[in-house]
Amino acid sequence: MCDFQKLSFNEHGYIVRCNECSHYQLGFGTAMLTLSQADFRAFAELIEEKIFSVTENDITIHEEIKSVVIPTPYTGMCLVLTKTELQHLYTMLDNAENEIKALSLLELFRH
């Protein structure tokens, strides 16, 4: 049974990591993904790339139209987001990454 550690939580969703199996669970909108550490890192990198390409290069995408397609590690499952939702997801992932770094630093001082 998983023992979750909260990494990011707000009105748009959450990101937690299991202390036992090191898997991540991401809840966002109506989707919930369980990701291995490698898949979580790849997903976070993809979102970071997407946020900068959409916000800087693609002015044709409307803020509130679901037109940003985000692939997941699961065959046949993608997230379809608005620019605003993409920004919310990016913020959640960024907050989680900051929390992961802080926890890693604290762990160094424990030993």
| pLDDT single digits (tens) 18-36 | 999 999 999 999 999 999 9
State the CATH number of the domain containing residue 58. 2.30.31
pLDDT average, residue stretch 107-111:
78
- For 15, 19, 48, 51, 58, the CA distances from 11, given in Å and listed in that order, are 12, 24, 20, 20, 27
What total number of domains does the chain contain? 1
| pLDDT single digits (tens) 31-61 | 999 999 999 999 999 999 999 887 666 666 6
| pLDDT single digits (tens) 62-89 | 778 898 999 999 999 999 999 999 999 9
Range of the domain at 97: 4-110
Residue 8 to residue 107: CA distance in whole angstroms: 19
Q: What is the pLDDT of residue 64?
A: 81
